[in-house]
Amino acid sequence: MIDATDWVRLLIVCVFFTAAAGATAWFTGLTTPTPFLKAAVRAVLQLAAVSAVITLVLTHLGLTALFLVLMAVVATATSARRTGTGWKGVWVAPAILIGTVPSLGLLIGIGLLPIEGIALIPVGGILIGGAMTATTLSARRALDSLRDRHGEYEAALALGFLEPTAVRLVIRRPAAEALLPPLDQTRTVGLVTLPGAFVGMLLGGAPVWQAGALQLVVLLALLAVEVAAVATVVELVARGLIRRASQAGEVRLT
């Protein structure tokens, strides 16, 4: 049970880290403190709301399914906003879901993931969150490359390449850079990082081998999900389905 002193300590630490992030970004000229303050406030409000309803959600399978859908909707909206794609941002949803849904289905189908809220929500959240990050990073890099290297795209067309193929030639490698963080996380697990699933199971009293086995499955599933997300982003950008408003006229697909 957390007493009043612990709450005060928690508040002080949270304020310190938020202020440190905002001040560092401001003094080094990276950005203003505003995004960090907004993110911290949202995190507090969202975690408070989730904490209030999570017990009910975890005990009802229907509510668990709705919560996973909500996660996917929020991930889609967040990625669409970050990529600056406007109403066309709805097309990031296939990239987020194309690997997540089959991966969850496989884990459930072979019995590694029980059909219970306490298991589905954490693992589903990890996979959806990873897919969202990969989608956002790859889409931003792809769209930036399409803008900055438009001459290469035009040159490919002049050589007789079809428009989607010309776009793929320009964006494929930059988009693949979104895979560096999950690759590094997987390669250094246990040596540099101890991910949440592993630590959470240890704190919950699970055997070390069981915690390690679950974390391995989650990491490899996450890697597959993020590769699928990036590959889908490349295809959607190549076909003109993901495009910033300012780029709408730059590439006309047949």
For 163, list phi and psi in degrees, rounded to 5.
-60, -45
């997987």: which residue's tokens? Answer: 186
When the pLDDT of each residue in the chain is averaged and rounded to a whole number, the result is 86
The pLDDT of residue 252: 42
The pLDDT of residue 51: 79
178-216, pLDDT tens digit by residue?
A: 999 999 988 888 777 666 666 565 555 666 666 677 778
Q: How far apart are CA 88 and CA 242, in angstroms?
A: 6
Q: How far apart are CA 13 and CA 246, in angstroms?
A: 42
């697909």: which residue's tokens? Answer: 253
Least confident range from 10-14, 83-87, 156-160, 171-175: namely: 83-87
Least confident range from 29-33, 193-197, 222-226, 245-249: namely: 245-249
The answer on pLDDT for 5 being more than 60 is yes
Query: Would you kindly state where each structural domain of the chain is located, as residue ranges?
Result: 1-57, 59-247
Q: Are 95 and 239 in contact (CB under 8 A)?
A: no
Residue 144 amino acid letter: D
Cα 111–Cα 115–Cα 119 angle in degrees, nearest 5: 95
The pLDDT of residue 201: 58
53-109, pLDDT tens digit by residue?
A: 887 888 888 899 999 999 999 999 999 998 888 777 789 999 999 999 999 999 999
The pLDDT of residue 198: 60
For domain 59-247, the CATH architecture is Up-down Bundle (1.20)
What is the reported pTM? Answer: 0.83
For 46, list phi and psi in degrees, rounded to 5.
-70, -40
